[in-house]
Amino acid sequence: MTVRTRFAPSPTGYLHVGGARTALFSYLFARKHGGVFVLRIEDTDLERSTAASVNAILEGMAWLGLSWDEGPFFQTERFDRYNAVIDELIGKGLAYRCDCPKERIDTLREGQMARKEKPRYDGHCRHRDIPADRPHAVRFRNPDEGVVVVDDLIRGRIVFNNDELDDLVIRRTDGSPTYNLSVVVDDMDMGISHVIRGDDHINNTPRQINILRALGQEPPRYAHVPMILGDDGARLSKRHGAVSVIAYRDEGYLPEALLNYLVRLGWSHGDREIFSLDEMVELFDIDQVNKAASSFNTDKLLWLNQHYIQHADPQRIAHLLSPHMGRLGIDPSQGADLKDVVVAQQARAKTLVELAQISAFVYQDFDTYDEAAARKHLTAAAAPALGRAREALELLALEDWDADTLERTLEQVALGLGEKMGKVAQPLRVAVVGRAASPGIGVTLELVGKEATLRRIGRALGHIAGLGAAG
């Protein structure tokens, strides 16, 4: 049997990280078993589905690198097929028309709830002959007896009694097919062998199995993935921070870091933490996923992201960093090679946003100094070192403006002053960077360039002079 999985999001919003994890598990299972990964857009909710949401889903999947083999298929393009199946079920007596008004259904359910019974349709229209030209919905005739057994690949055996299941609506009064019918027909037509989805769908599973069997089909295998919780134990939502895949991209996370984090939410391979996508394919299997819900830990994701930034190809990081520099109003082509900046800084940042922020000094002057750094290092006592440094740096030719030469030049300045290197380097660093942390002083000055370095030293000396005047 060829393994065929599917990811079937509804385009009613962004691609949630919970959905991304489900997509990842489906992708990995298909790839591990030499199968096919299908992308299907379940857009039958015509009021809430939008083209923008479809684009957000496709963009998120592409950014994560989860390439699909077939699709994307859109349910709204398959209404004729769904209606043909519904008519087939009606013709076989396995579905029936229902014209019960909403008021009757509401009254029925209110009474059942008052009696502490499970709310369900009472089959009022099962034996009524309602003309097709009268306004009506269509209901599936659920079996009255027996059980539905689901051998879930994650949760184990789950048994449902048929007498607790509704005659669910499979076509609305407006003629549109419902979710449970559309999913069944799609999984049947697309030959889906394994359905991996969130555990919020568990109650849909017996209903879908009964429809499949009514159509003479053997159901796929099911695996229901536990939900993701926030750090407060509630289901992960916007109030916990970023939850959309694209938001994490925009906050400066790498796709491989997010994938690595998501695969570890409910699955493990010993104590190992770091997995490439190829390694995930090799090692992952769905029956190893934990039954319990997993809690989202942003600190752990940040740790992973920092690891991937530090160990990634600097050229690739430069490519990903460029738009974040642009959001700061910086054109990286106007200054040091961005790859060289990444080499100097990539061990210092947890996200690309942070990497852009701490690297902005290379390309643009700053308005203010870090207060504590300026108070400690831009003092009257530091003015001679800054002045001598400026004099020595002015004498360097542009072709000599490299990290090694700059380091040697400043060491000579310190030697001439009878001071340790730090007494020259730290005031100079604050003058040029605006804060007390940066790469080595030679690398820092090389990246900033001669003109901007001298300009900023002059500004720092003016700042010190201003302090003296104010005193």
Is 420 marked active-site? no
Asked if 120 and 165 touch (Cβ cutoff 8 Å), the reply is yes
- Tokens 């009257």 identify what position? 380
Dihedral over Cα of 96, 102, 107, 109: its sign: positive
Burial of 337 (0-12, 13-18, 19+ CB in 10 A): middle
CA distances 320 to 61, 303, 468, Å, are 17, 18, 45
| Residue of 160, 89, 156, 97 lying closest to 123 (CA atoms) | 97
Asked if 30 and 64 touch (Cβ cutoff 8 Å), the reply is no
My answer on whether omega of the bond before 206 falls inside 30° of 0, hence cis, is no
Count of CA atoms in the C-beta half-sphere (13 A) of 96: 15
Question: Given 92, 118, 238, 420, which residue is catalytic?
Answer: 238
C-beta contacts of 159-163 below 8 A and 24+ residues apart: 160/206, 162/206, 162/210
Asked if 224 and 198 touch (Cβ cutoff 8 Å), the reply is yes
3-state SS, residue 386: helix
For residue 256, what are the contacts with CB-CB under 8 A and spacing of at least 6?
A: 65, 276, 277, 308
Asked if 178 and 79 touch (Cβ cutoff 8 Å), the reply is no
Asked if 195 and 37 touch (Cβ cutoff 8 Å), the reply is no
For residue 376, what are the contacts with CB-CB under 8 A and spacing of at least 6?
A: 436
| Residue of 322, 313, 437 lying closest to 373 (CA atoms) | 437
Q: What is the DSSP string of 77-114?
A: G-HHHHHHHHHHHHHTTSEEEE---HHHHHHHHHHHHH
Question: What residues are labeled active site?
Answer: 238
